[in-house]
Amino acid sequence: MALRDDIKLKRPFANDGVHALLLMARTLTELFEPALVLARKAGVSPVHHNVLRILRGAGAQGLPAGVIADRMVARDPDLTRLVDRMEKLGLVKRERSEDDRRVVLCRITRKGLAVCQLLEDPLNELHRAQFAKLGRHKTRQLIGLLEDLRDANRRTETP
């Protein structure tokens, strides 16, 4: 079903950019919904899972919160509170850096690693299945177009 029908739009979109942006937003919502359900079953949110994956990739040395924030797919404006909640859940721990006591490092715990492991295969399979409908060629075209769009908008100042 076309987006305009799905949202019951009576008049045309203001321009192709509006149409494309709304279509991407609606599509992302629909694609992320099953992932949200999987994450909730594992006791975390997709944002928690994003942080856990970042910390898993960092290894034993951990990362400062600012670096985690830079690497997140969807930015969280209050990463400190997010990490506080994750620490209370036992998913991460914070420790002062031995090299520079001013720096606080976040590290994934065994429980956090277990959550990552629990979600890894089901999420990979979910996303593989979602994009299998497009096929490999169209999926790669989509990736290229989205990368081009990101690159073009990184060089453009906001009005």
Residue 159 domain-assigned (yes or no): no
Q: What confidence score (pLDDT) does residue 79 get?
A: 86
- How many domains does the chain fold into? 1
Domain range holding 21? 3-154
Q: What confidence score (pLDDT) does residue 61 get?
A: 87
Residue 94's CATH number: 1.10.10.10
Q: What confidence score (pLDDT) does residue 74 get?
A: 81
Contact 62/100 with Cβ under 8 angstroms? Answer: no
Residue 29 domain-assigned (yes or no): yes
Residue 33 domain-assigned (yes or no): yes
Q: Which ranges of the chain have pLDDT less than 70?
A: 156-159
Residue 61 domain-assigned (yes or no): yes
Contact 105/62 with Cβ under 8 angstroms? Answer: yes
Residue 145 domain-assigned (yes or no): yes
Q: Name the E strands within the chain.
A: 63-64, 92-96, 104-108
Residue 71 domain-assigned (yes or no): yes
Residue 42 domain-assigned (yes or no): yes
